[in-house]
């Protein structure tokens, strides 16, 4: 056998026993007459000791030639260390080596396999198999496993059944772009990789499975950023014979279980907020409520003077920055530059300092007196020592701009603490959203989302006002889950598809299988899908998901390690009946 123990388990209680260890050489300290070597595996590090007085000469010579990341096997006796290392669990002992076997050599790695490495992101992505040896990545993958196991245990105990659904499915026009797969056996036809198992989980409810879940890969061909990958993992769930409250209670339970099991944190309150209120108070539909800085609408207290910027604005809004009066003029100027960045797009920012003596000093003192500025403070909830930041413009744009500023200020002030968790349900989303490019409505969630009870008739008269029976679960400013009560009858589904611009023929071609199933006694049903990658990252105290994925893609959707995507040869193209028409 290659090992009797792993490199993380030996303690002082193992002293004077012979052990066999295998692993990678982390470091070598050669003193000439003695050699110290750190041996590493997934479980930890054990110090090996070679002493010319007690170690055979041939073993000493072989040890002197070892390099970083060599794979070796050793036998020896566990002894007490003369100089103990309290920073590692095995720090009280070392192994006096009597046998050494080199299992494999290694060239010098392109970056150091240490917690703090000298390798940049691109280099570590190219050699991801080496990066995984580092504790931060290794521990992230182990952490992900623990979360997934906790999810499976909870849902299984709640009578959910894990069912696999197909990866090769049919392309549909809703949502992001599909990844498509040509079919060799069906010339000129294509599969699509699923953006979610949405229709299949609904069919499982028609099939009587009652409670389904799946930890499943999903695929979307969309522009990428730090928290987005072309392939990602969902905790996909569906329940039959349920109303919205049943689903919220079930998955509040799952979230509480994860926070307790994984983080040792007990969270009782899951506040609920309407979508419209979230947009009004925070400027986005996934607000971070670990801190305040709610928006105050200032039209009534700003649009009565000769300041044209505010008078011409559709909306004037502000936030009170706690302790912000301590910001220097340079720091405030930097905030103004920050909101003017193309990524934010504001034309500028007005501010008012709330002085400790109850007076105010603003960047528009020419137009507003102390009484006016006191009203700004009242509306935004500012107190002495705070700073009021004000933006103005078109309603939707300025809310998004102030939301971005709110989050940036929270980062600067240390208000987004990774060890604090504040879940929140956002409810009653619009069922449809208007797309200026296509000049038609699109489903805000997906075309199988049910409207709120009693609002179906509004689709004919005022479709933009119809609310969806939908809900998102937000944690620390990130959407971690979203779902809805589904449409479960053919007539309502046909109405919904009609309002999304489908002809009867198009609806039949795309979703006929689902509508047919609804004619065979489909039960009322609904569900939710959690983004596992993001959920794991947040539970782990991060917001970027890359380190919690074993082999992630870069921001161009490439796997730089295996160099994919890649061209295929002409023979494969012919076999698949494909012809390239590349843009020069």
Check if the beta carbon of residue 213 is closer than 8 Å to that of residue 162: yes
Q: Is 245 annotated as a binding residue?
A: no
Q: Is 315 annotated as a binding residue?
A: no
Q: Which residues of 20-29 are buried (b: 16+ CB within 10 A; e: fewer)?
A: bbbbbbbebe
Instruction: Establish how many alpha carbons lie within 13 A of residue 119's alpha carbon, considering only the half-sphere containing its beta carbon.
Output: 20
Residue 551 has a CB neighbour count (10 Å cut-off) of: 12
Q: Is 261 annotated as a binding residue?
A: no
Give helix 275-282 / helix 395-412 axis angle, nearest 10°.
60
Q: Which residues of 239-262 are buried (b: 16+ CB within 10 A; e: fewer)?
A: bbebebeebbebbbebbbbbbebb
Minimal CA–CA distance to 244: which of 495, 492, 482? 482
Residue 439 has a CB neighbour count (10 Å cut-off) of: 8
C-alpha span between 425 and 250 (Å, rounded) = 13
DSSP state of 449: B
C-alpha span between 147 and 150 (Å, rounded) = 5
Rounded to 5 degrees, φ, ψ at 515 are: -65, -35
Minimal CA–CA distance to 1: which of 101, 80, 82, 121? 101
For residue 107, what are the contacts with CB-CB under 8 A and spacing of at least 6?
none
Q: Is 531 annotated as a binding residue?
A: yes
Q: Is 500 annotated as a binding residue?
A: no
Check if the beta carbon of residue 442 is closer than 8 Å to that of residue 173: no
Check if the beta carbon of residue 309 is closer than 8 Å to that of residue 299: no
C-alpha to C-alpha distances, 62 to 50, 77, 97, 368, 438, nearest whole angstrom: 11, 18, 12, 82, 71
Q: Which long-range contacts (CB under 8 A, 24 or more apart) does 359-362 make?
A: none
C-alpha span between 190 and 180 (Å, rounded) = 6
DSSP state of 522: P
Q: Is 174 annotated as a binding residue?
A: yes
C-alpha span between 211 and 221 (Å, rounded) = 30
Q: Is 220 annotated as a binding residue?
A: yes
Q: Is 128 annotated as a binding residue?
A: no
One-character DSSP codes across 163-225: ----SSB---SSSSBPPEEE-SSSTT-EEE--S--HHHHHHHHHTT--EEEEEEEEE-B----
For 309, the enclosing helix (H) or strand (E) is: helix 308-311
Q: Is 486 annotated as a binding residue?
A: yes
Residue 572 has a CB neighbour count (10 Å cut-off) of: 12
3-state secondary structure (DSSP) of residue 528: strand
Q: Is 479 annotated as a binding residue?
A: yes
Instruction: Please state the residue numbers annotated as binding site for ATP.
Output: 220-222, 229, 479, 531-534
Instruction: Please state the residue numbers annotated as binding site for L-aspartate.
Output: 174, 220, 445, 486
Instruction: Please state the residue numbers annotated as binding site.
Output: 174, 220-222, 229, 445, 479, 486, 531-534
């Amino acid at each position: 056998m290659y090992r009797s123990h792993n490199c993380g388990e030996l303690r002082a209680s193992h002293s004077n026993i012979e052990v066999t260890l295998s692993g990678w050489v982390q470091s070598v300290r050669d003193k000439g007459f003695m050699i110290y070597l750190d041996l590493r595996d997934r479980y930890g590090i054990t110090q090996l000791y070679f002493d010319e007085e007690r170690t055979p000469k041939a073993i000493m010579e072989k040890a002197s030639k070892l390099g970083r990341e060599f794979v070796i096997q050793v036998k020896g006796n566990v002894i007490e260390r003369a100089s103990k290392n309290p920073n590692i669990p095995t720090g009280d002992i070392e192994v006096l080596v009597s046998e050494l076997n080199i299992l494999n050599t290694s060239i010098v790695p392109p970056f150091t396999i240490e917690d703090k490495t000298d390798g940049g992101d691109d280099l570590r992505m190219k050699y991801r198999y080496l990066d995984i040896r580092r504790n931060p990545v290794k521990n992230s993958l182990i952490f992900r496993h623990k979360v997934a196991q906790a999810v499976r245990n909870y849902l299984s105990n709640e009578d959910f059944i894990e069912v696999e659904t197909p990866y090769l499915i049919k392309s549909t026009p809703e949502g992001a772009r599909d990844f498509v797969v040509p079919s060799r056996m069906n010339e000129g036809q294509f599969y699509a990789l699923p953006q979610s198992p949405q229709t299949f989980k609904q069919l499982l409810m028609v099939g009587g499975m009652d409670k389904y879940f799946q930890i499943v890969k999903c695929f979307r061909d969309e522009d990428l950023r730090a928290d987005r990958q072309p392939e990602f993992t969902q905790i996909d769930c569906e329940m039959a014979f349920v109303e919205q409250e049943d689903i919220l209670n079930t998955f509040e339970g799952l979230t509480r279980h994860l926070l307790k099991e994984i983080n040792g944190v007990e969270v009782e309150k899951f506040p609920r907020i309407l979508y419209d209120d979230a947009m009004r108070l925070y400027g986005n539909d996934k607000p971070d409520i670990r801190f305040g800085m709610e928006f105050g609408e200032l039209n009534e207290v700003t649009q009565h003077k000769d300041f044209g910027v505010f008078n011409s604005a559709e909306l004037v809004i502000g936030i009170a920055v706690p302790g912000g009066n301590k910001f220097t003029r340079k720091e405030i100027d930097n905030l103004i530059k920050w909101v003017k960045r193309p990524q934010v797009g504001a034309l500028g920012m007005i501010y008012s300092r709330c002085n400790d003596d109850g007076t105010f000093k603003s960047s528009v003192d020419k137009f507003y007196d102390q009484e006016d500025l006191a009203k700004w403070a009242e509306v935004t909830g500012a107190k002495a020592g705070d700073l009021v930041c004000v933006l103005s413009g078109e309603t939707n744009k300025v809310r998004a701009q102030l939301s971005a500023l709110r989050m940036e200020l929270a980062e600067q002030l240390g208000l987004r603490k990774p060890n604090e968790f504040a879940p929140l349900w956002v409810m009653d989303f619009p069922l449809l959203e208007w797309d200026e490019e296509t000049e038609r409505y699109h489903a805000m969630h997906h075309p199988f989302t049910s409207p709120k009870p009693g609002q179906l008739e509004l689709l004919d008269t005022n479709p933009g006002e119809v609310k969806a029976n939908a809900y998102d679960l937000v944690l620390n400013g990130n959407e971690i889950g979203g779902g809805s009560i589904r449409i479960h009858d053919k007539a309502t589904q046909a109405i919904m598809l009609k309002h999304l611009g489908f002809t009867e023929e198009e609806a039949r071609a795309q979703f006929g299988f689902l509508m047919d199933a609804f004619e065979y006694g489909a039960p009322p049903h609904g569900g939710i899908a959690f983004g596992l990658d993001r959920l794991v990252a947040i539970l782990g105290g991060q917001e970027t998901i890359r380190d919690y994925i074993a082999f992630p893609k870069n921001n161009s959707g490439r796997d730089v390690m295996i160099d994919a995507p890649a061209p295929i040869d002409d023979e494969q193209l012919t076999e698949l009946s494909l012809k390239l028409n590349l843009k020069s």
